[in-house]
Chains A and B, each alone.
Chain A
Amino acid sequence: MSSDLLDKLIKALTVLPGVGKKSAQRMALYLLDKNKSGAREIANSLNDALDNIQRCKSCRMLTTNDLCHVCQDETRDSLSICVVESPSDLLAIESTGGYKGKYFVLMGRLSPLDNLGPDDLGIPQLLERIDKENMKEIILALSSTVEGDATAIFIKDHVENIKVSRISYGIPIGGELEYVDSNTIARSIIGRVEINDD
Chain B
Amino acid sequence: MELVLTTHFGNDQYRTIGTYQELGGYVALKKALGMTSDAIIDEVKKASLRGRGGAGFPAGIKWGFLPKNDRPRVLVINADEGEPGTFKDRLIMSRGPHLLIEGIAIAAFALNAHMSYIYIRGEFVKEANILNEAIDEAYAKGFLGKNILGSGFDLDLTVHRGAGAYVCGEETSLINSLEGKRGWPRLKPPFPAVVGAFGLPTIVNNVETLADVPWIITNGGEKFASLGSEKNGGTRLIGVSGWVEKPGVYELPCGTNLKDIIYKHCGGIKNGKALKAVIPGGSSTPVLRPEEIDVAYDIESMAKIGSASGSGGVIVIPEGTCMVRILGVLMNFYAHESCGQCTPCREGTGWFKTIVSRIENGKGKPGDIDLLLDLCDNMMGRTVCPLSEAAGMPVKSFLTKFRDEFEQHIRDQKCPYGNKFQSAHA
B and A form one assembly: no
